[in-house]
Every structure is written in structure tokens, then in C-alpha cells.
Homo-oligomer: A and B are copies of this chain.
């Protein structure tokens, strides 16, 4: 038997855990409050000053913190201020999109080191071609970052649900068993984590990620909601238009019929065979801006249907905000008013939400105590 929220202890604690916990605590405090002094950290954390000094020395030796000069205080001698040392480390996030790959690398201070966008084999290509394209891009990003003298701490792929299984293992083989960890997560979950990181104080949110279909990334009490089999957030077949058109899933009026790229492009542009989804979305935006009735009508209908799904999700999950990402982000100016729900807003971290969420995940492990040695 296991129980509930409050029970998390599953392994014994020892002195190394205490030190790792406190190192992570100091690191996190400096990320949120830099520049700050050792005395500031002691006051804020409740750790004594000698312990803080020892922890800070350790973090400076690990090249995670650095001293950034003196600041005079009103009482006593000037204090040495501390800030994050971003340069030695990097984390990489790669989005496997509908027809593109999007890679970012960031340093520990959050500075973007690179943002690369590439055409991808697309959802109909054999999985092997997608893996090969991702592996080639990942190898180039790793090469670039390590060529700058940085150590890669982790690489996270954001992939559509169907591709998640086995992708990490294949990629690790392609990268010749790298020293860093390779993780694959649903794209929407990573985008939701990126939104969470960008929203101070927010603990419960939903990110609706638009692509070939719509999926939801959900954060509850600060943690991603994954489900028993990792399939949570499959909102594309919520029924939002009862009695509507039949869906391939056998139901009628599913969200994906109006919001997924194939349906949306067909209604907004009247086109079925689209070689480039990104270009099609750009054309929809241009037409809607010009007041084209067909495009605006398709977006208004889609937004209303989105509103129905958002009401279901807010009833069930009680988030403080619902963010639109992926291809829904550029369409937000039309979708948001039509959704007519007070919690719906465009994500502020697009177009790189998935990749940034992936990179952030590697650094989050640092602050959970997994420090580089």
C-alpha cells in the first residue's frame, strides 16, 4: 500500500542528502535573488553563516556560482555579492514538431546560447528518418556547445505522444552513449514547464499545444501531470461539437477536427494537401489580418470549440491560467476572443516553449540536488 501526497520518503536519508539538499537550496536562492550576499542567504534560508560559507565555496568550486563584486551595506563592512556562473554548463532542448525541429541551448543563467530551426521529415515519414534527423541536429548542437568549452548537463526531446517510446534510447545510441542524460517528454508537458518557469508564483496551469492535433501539458501543484501510462493530456478527442462531423476515432465533433492542423488548414484555406504546415499557418494569419471571411470564420469556429474544451479542463483541473502554444499561439488573436473564457491567454514563451522547457528540465535536476561533480 502507498498513500497520498504527503508521503514521499522511499529511500533512506543520509548526510550526503543533507548537503545536496542545502547546496540545491542555496543555488535556487541565488537564481531567484542574485546578486545576494552570504548573509542574505543565511537570513533567507535559516542556515547558519558558517554552513552557508561552506556551501557557497563548494558551489564556486563546481563553477555554479561566482562572486560579482562588493556592495556596501548600511551596517558593517561591504558584502561580497554572489551570482550564478552560467558559462561552464549548458542544457539542450529539441522540439520534434509537425514539420520542423527546433533546438535551443541555454546556460544556467537562462541565457540563450543558440536557437536552430530545421525542416523535419514530418509525421508521415518512417520513424527511423525522424530519429536520424533528430540525432544529426542533436550532434551538431552538442558539438557547438562543447566547442565553446561548456559541459552539457542534459538533453530533452519534446515529441508527439506516439514517438516518445524508445526515442531516448535510439538517440543515446546515435550520440554514442553521451555522459549527459537524454530524456523524452510529451511536447505539451515541456511547453507547460516553460510556461511555469516564466510565471512567478503560478503552480497550476494548462498549456494547450497545437500541431497535427491538440495536446495538453498540465501542471498541478508545481508538478507535471503525466497519468498512469504517460498519456494524460490527450484532449484532441474531447467532444466539443456534439453531433458534428465524424472523427477517425469513431466519436463525433472532436476538438482536433477544428483545431488540429489538417482540419484547420482545410477550413481556413480550403486546401487538403499541405506540404508545409508552418507556411500554411502563416498564410492563415495573413488572410485573417486582411479580414478574409473564410479564414476568420474558421478561426472563430475553432476558438468557440476551444472554449468548450477549456471549460471542461478548468472544471476538472482548476488551473489559474490556460495558455495557447504551438500553432495555436500565432492564431491566438482570433482564438482567444472566440474562446470567450477568462483564463485563456497566449503563451509568452512561444515559439520556443517546447525546446526551452526541455532545456529547463535538465537544469531543474540541478536544483533538485543532482549537482555536477
Interface residues of A (CB under 8 A from B): 1-15, 17-18, 21-22, 24-25, 28, 31-32, 45-47, 193, 196-198, 200-201, 203-204, 216, 218-235, 237-239, 242-243, 308, 312-313, 315-320, 360-361, 363-365, 367-369
Contact, CB under 8 Å: A224 / B5: yes
From known contacts A2-B196, A5-B223, infer whether A316 and B313 are also in contact, taking CB-CB under 8 Å: yes
CB pair B28–A319 under 8 Å, yes or no, is no
> Could you say how many copies of this chain the assembly holds?
2
A221 CB contacts on chain B under 8 angstroms: 223, 225-226
What residues on B are CB-neighbors of A368 within 8 Å?
Answer: 6-9
Chain B neighbourhood of A17, CB < 8 A: 13, 18
* Nearest residue, chain B, Cβ from A14: B18
Are A222 and B2 interface neighbours, CB within 8 A?
Answer: yes
Alpha-carbon distance between A312 and B368 when the two chains are bound, in angstroms: 34
Known contacts A200-B1, A203-B2, A222-B4: does B18 contact A234 (CB below 8 Å)?
no
- CB of B9 within 8 A of CB of A21, answer yes
Alpha-carbon distance between A232 and B318 when the two chains are bound, in angstroms:
5
Given contacts A228-B318, A228-B319, are A12 and B21 in contact (CB under 8 A)? yes
A233 contacts which chain B residues (CB < 8 A)? 316, 318
A150 vs B372: C-alpha distance when bound (angstroms): 49
When chains A and B are docked, how far (Å) is the Cα of A219 from the Cα of B32? Answer: 31
Pick the contact of A11: B2, B13, B25, B320 (CB < 8 A): B25
Give the distance in Å from the alpha carbon of A4 to the alpha carbon of B361 in the complex. Answer: 8
**Residue among A22, A32, A313 facing the most chain B CB atoms (10 A cut-off):** A22
Contact between B315 and A4 (Cβ–Cβ < 8 Å)?
Answer: no
Q: Are A7 and B22 in contact (CB under 8 A)?
A: no
**A237 CB contacts on chain B under 8 angstroms:** 315
Residues of chain B within 8 A of A230, CB atoms compared: 318
Question: Contact: A364 with B197, CB < 8 Å?
Answer: no
Contact residues in B for A242 (Cβ distance below 8 Å): 239, 242-243
Contacts of A5 in B (CB 8 A): 222-224, 364
Q: Which residues of B contact A25 (CB under 8 A)?
A: 9-13
- What's the least CB distance linking A22 to chain B, in Å? 5
Q: Is the CB of B7 within 8 A of A367?
A: yes
Q: Could you tell me the distance in whole angstroms from the C-beta of A120 to the nearest C-beta in chain B?
A: 26
Which of the listed residues A13, A230, A319, A364 has the most CB atoms from chain B within 10 Å of its own CB? A13
* Set B18, B225, B234, B243: member contacting A315, Cβ < 8 A: B234
> Hey, which chain B residues are within 8 Å of A361, CB to CB?
4, 6
Indicate if the CB atoms of A204 and B227 lie closer than 8 Å: yes
Closest to A319 in B: B228
- In the complex the two chains form, what is the Cα distance from A10 to B369 in whole Å? 12
A12 touches B22 (CB 8 A): yes
User: Contacts A232-B316, A365-B6, A368-B6: A45 and B227 contacting too (C-beta < 8 A)?
Assistant: no
The answer to whether A318 and B204 have CB atoms under 8 Å apart is no
